[in-house]
Amino acid sequence: MKLPPVLENAHAQIVPALRSAFGALSPELRAVVDYHMGWRDAKGRPVEKQSSKGVRPTLALLATAAAGHAPDASAVPGAVAVEALHNCAFLLDDVMDGDRHRRQRETAWVVFGKGMSTLAGTALFVLGNATLLRSDSPHRHEAVGLYDDTFATMLAGQALDLEMEGASEVSVERCVRMTEWKTASLMRCAVTMGAVLAGAPAQVLEQLRVYGESLGVAFQARDDLLGIWGAPHETGGRPPGFDLKARKATLPVAFALEERSAAADQLREFLLRPGPGDAEVARATELVEKGGGRERTAELASSKVTAALTALDSLDLAEDIRRGFAEIAAMGRPDH
């Protein structure tokens, strides 16, 4: 997937700041993070892999600009913090979910062990906190509060996710709430962080919050579609049907279960049996599609992208900033 120009441009500003900030970790933890970020291989040798797309730190920089400030050095701590939190969540979730592949490589815990990966992920969050606390923005303490609240919400969302594992009944409402807590809250944090640090007025913050929250749900809905119908090159190396094989209660599944049809009953049975084979996964994939799960999740993603863009209409933004927000929003479209 080719990255939109706004991400390419932000990269040059973000990556050196990340490398410098993450360099403060102790050697044991740094090895894990350097590997996870795609900066070093499992043996500690430098590599150059395009690891993160940098959506969230770029949003933080754009938000500073949206608040009427040039996205200069003062915006960078916010960008570093949200990217630290994003990768903290990856490291912790991969351990908990037992996922073995991400970004076309083995996940960090496969290489360094579950304990070390958990420590490295947690250390990234703490590093983000410290980075904000030491920034020179007069609004840094408000930013730390936002950052902490966001992580607390994400943890509650992941707990909801774990609790839903292996459940044969998942309501759309519960699944959407989990998405809002677990992933949309981080997107919302990313897009408000820069504005908070820049001291943006409440009305600007509110519109950015709606943009971030809506886009976060769209990204997750798109991810959930890829988790069932995505090709390995779109999912960091995961086989199609991956989420169903793991019997994850994602949005397409929740929509299909809501139908109360014979197909929904069969899907419910599928979710109750651990360790399904490939044929069963293929059959479940059909059931989700037949139950409207694919279509309704795609509709949700599209409508949330539209909601995100609409939220920005009332803001007085420079043309290139608006274009940047639009380029990122487009990445949430199901057909992107």
Interacting residues toward a second copy by CB under 8 A: 25-26, 28-29, 92, 95-96, 113-116, 118-120, 122-123, 125-127, 129-130, 133-134, 141, 144-145, 148-149, 151-152, 155-156, 158-160, 162-163
Least gap, CB of 26 to a second copy (angstroms): 4
Least gap, CB of 153 to a second copy (angstroms): 9
Comparison of 126 and 272: residue with beta carbon closer to a second copy: 126
Comparison of 116 and 200: residue with beta carbon closer to a second copy: 116
H, E, C per residue of the chain: CCCCHHHHHHHHHHHHHHHHHHCCCCHHHHHHHHHHCCCECCCCCECCCCCCCCHHHHHHHHHHHHCCCCCCHHHHHHHHHHHHHHHHHHHHHHHHHCCCEECCEECHHHHHCHHHHHHHHHHHHHHHHHHHHCCCCCCHHHHHHHHHHHHHHHHHHHHHHHHHCCCCCCCHHHHHHHHHHHHHHHHHHHHHHHHHHCCCCHHHHHHHHHHHHHHHHHHHHHHHHHHHHCCHHHCCCCCCCHHHHCCCCCHHHHHHHCCCCHHHHHHHHHHHCCCCCHHHHHHHHHHHHHCCHHHHHHHHHHHHHHHHHHHHHCCCCCHHHHHHHHHHHHCCCCCC
Least gap, CB of 267 to a second copy (angstroms): 24
Comparison of 5 and 113: residue with beta carbon closer to a second copy: 113
Comparison of 13 and 131: residue with beta carbon closer to a second copy: 131
Comparison of 93 and 224: residue with beta carbon closer to a second copy: 93
Least gap, CB of 96 to a second copy (angstroms): 4
Least gap, CB of 308 to a second copy (angstroms): 26
